[in-house]
Amino acid sequence: MMTVGFMIAGGIGSVLRFWLGSLIKNKFPQPKIPISILLVNILGSFALGIFVSLDIKHQLLSIVIGTGFFGGFTTFSTFSVEAVQLLLEKRLKAGAIYMLMTMTCCIGGFWAGSLLL
C-alpha cells in the first residue's frame, strides 16, 4: 500500500512541477538563468520545511508526502543538467549564479519554512 501511495504522491508532485515550471517559462521565456526550476525548487524546499515542522507522527504519511510528493515536485537532476549546460556553453557567471542561488535559496527556503510554524 505504501508503494502505491508513494507513486501517486510522486506523480502528483511531478505533474505540479511541470505545470508550474511551464507557467514560469511562459512568463519569463528567455531568462539568463533557468528560473523555472530554481523557483520550483525554492518553493518545494520552503513547503517541505513547513511540512517537516508539522512533526507528523504517522510515518507512512510522512514518507509518502515528504519523500513522494516533495521528491516529485522538486528536482535536483534537472538542476544538475541545467547547471552543466550553462558551464558547457561557457556561461560561467550564469552557471555560478544559478548554482549558488539554488543552494542558498533552497536551504534558506527550507529553513524559513521550518521556522514558520
Q: What are the backbone angles phi and psi of residue 30, rounded to the nearest 5°?
A: -135, 65
Residue positions forming the annotated binding site: 71, 74
Do residues 24 and 40 make contact, with C-beta atoms less than 8 angstroms apart? yes
For residue 73, what are the contacts with CB-CB under 8 A and spacing of at least 6? 13, 14, 16, 17, 40, 44, 47
Residue positions forming the annotated binding site for Na(+): 71, 74
Give the separation between CA 56 and CA 30, rounded to whole angstroms: 41
